[in-house]
């Protein structure tokens, strides 16, 4: 796909369908990003979620901010949607009777935190409260994803990447996110209302950079077919139904042979 990946072509080739936007906890029109690099705000420490810390915007990508906790190192940057409830204007914590905390792995001695806080906020550009979004979009009432549906998802091991993905399995309120063209190493389960998953076309709308799928396409297609209980039945061939525990529900998608043939031809 060298550089430009087209969902339209890809969905045709894979015979897959995109998960409808009503499945996601995302706004239909992506939230406006009016933040600027250098602005400071309050954020929950991702490694210690009971702490509210000072963070600096060190980058912007689509509707997301790349954040770094003041007093931390540059190895633990994290990304948040501009409408995340985990970011707030400076002053919010105190207003609610809380106290700003040093980040996990604070570079200095804990006793120097009050002075550090003073210095880091002195003369800082604070993100104005009007550019924060009042609330997160509401969660859909239930998990309405289906196995095989396509989506865009944050690669949690490389959270600056948003990548084409497929629903690999469902488990109650959870969804298994599998990355197209990559082996299982990046897969994860998340709640259906996770803020890390987006409808097809999200990155185009926000101007974020969607990674192209990896090259292990065949494995991936077989991967989810197997998890859905389809593969054993397919291999048994017609007239030799595989029975036994867990395999009785197996049913191949109508176009599975075309899907696999197409993947092999690439
Ligand atoms: N440098 C990494 C990127 C992997 C990204 C996968 N995204 C699903 C690697 O090649 O392992």
Q: Which ligand 1 atom is nearest residue 211's CA?
A: 7
- Rounded Cα distance between 101 and 104, Å, is 9
pLDDT at 225: 58
pLDDT at 262: 46
Structure tokens at 240: 């030799």
pLDDT at 254: 54
pLDDT at 66: 98
Query: pLDDT, tens digit, for every residue of 99-116?
Result: 999 999 999 999 999 999
**pLDDT exceeds cutoff 80 at 136:** yes
Nearest Cα residue to atom 3 of ligand 1: 158
Instruction: Sort 144 into a burial class: Cβ within 10 Å, 0-12 / 13-18 / 19+.
Output: middle
Residue 132 beta carbon below 6 angstroms from any ligand 1 atom = no
> Do 125 and 40 touch, CB atoms closer than 8 A?
yes
pLDDT at 72: 97
> Do 174 and 187 touch, CB atoms closer than 8 A?
no
Name the residue among 64, 75, 82, 178 with its Cα closest to residue 131.
82
Residue 161 beta carbon below 6 angstroms from any ligand 1 atom = yes
Pairing of strands 174-179, 188-191: antiparallel
232 alpha carbon, distance to own chain's centre: 31
CA of 161 to the centre of ligand 1 (A): 9
pLDDT at 247: 37
Residue 179 beta carbon below 6 angstroms from any ligand 1 atom = yes
Query: pLDDT, tens digit, for every residue of 205-233?
Result: 999 999 999 988 554 455 555 555 555 54
List, in order, residues 6 or more apart from 239 with CB less than 8 Å away.
none
Query: pLDDT, tens digit, for every residue of 10-31?
Result: 999 999 999 999 999 999 999 9
Structure tokens at 191: 């709640």
Residue 184 beta carbon below 6 angstroms from any ligand 1 atom = no
- Rounded Cα distance between 98 and 102, Å, is 13
Element (H, E) at 222: helix 217-227
Q: What is the DSSP string of 43-104?
A: EEETTEEEEEEEEEEEEEETTEEEEEETTS-TT--EEEETT-TTEE-TTHHHHTT----PPT
pLDDT at 216: 82
Mean pLDDT, residues 69-75 taken together: 96
């Amino acid at each position: 796909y060298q550089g430009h990946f087209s969902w339209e072509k890809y969905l045709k080739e894979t015979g897959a369908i995109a998960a409808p936007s009503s499945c996601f906890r995302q706004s239909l029109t992506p939230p406006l990003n009016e933040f600027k690099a250098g602005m400071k705000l309050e954020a929950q420490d991702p490694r210690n979620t009971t702490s509210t810390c000072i963070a600096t915007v060190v980058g912007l990508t689509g509707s997301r901010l790349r954040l770094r906790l003041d007093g931390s190192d540059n190895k633990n940057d994290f990304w948040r949607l501009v409408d995340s409830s985990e970011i707030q204007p400076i002053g919010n914590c105190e207003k609610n009777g809380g106290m700003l905390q040093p980040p996990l792995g604070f570079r200095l001695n804990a006793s120097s935190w009050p002075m550090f806080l003073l210095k880091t906020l002195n003369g800082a550009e604070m993100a104005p409260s009007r550019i924060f979004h009042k609330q997160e979009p509401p969660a859909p009432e239930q998990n309405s994803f289906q196995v095989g549906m396509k989506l865009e998802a944050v690669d949690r091991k490389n959270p600056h990447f948003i990548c084409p993905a497929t629903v690999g399995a469902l488990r109650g309120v959870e969804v298994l996110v599998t990355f197209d063209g990559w082996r299982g190493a990046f897969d994860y389960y998340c709640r259906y209302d996770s803020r890390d998953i987006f409808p097809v076309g999200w990155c185009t709308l926000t101007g974020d950079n969607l990674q192209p799928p990896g090259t292990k396409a065949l494995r991936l297609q077989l991967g989810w077919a197997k998890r859905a209980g389809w593969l054993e039945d397919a291999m048994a061939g017609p007239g030799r139904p595989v029975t036994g525990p867990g395999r009785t529900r197996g049913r191949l998608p109508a176009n599975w042979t075309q899907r696999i043939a197409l993947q092999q031809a690439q």
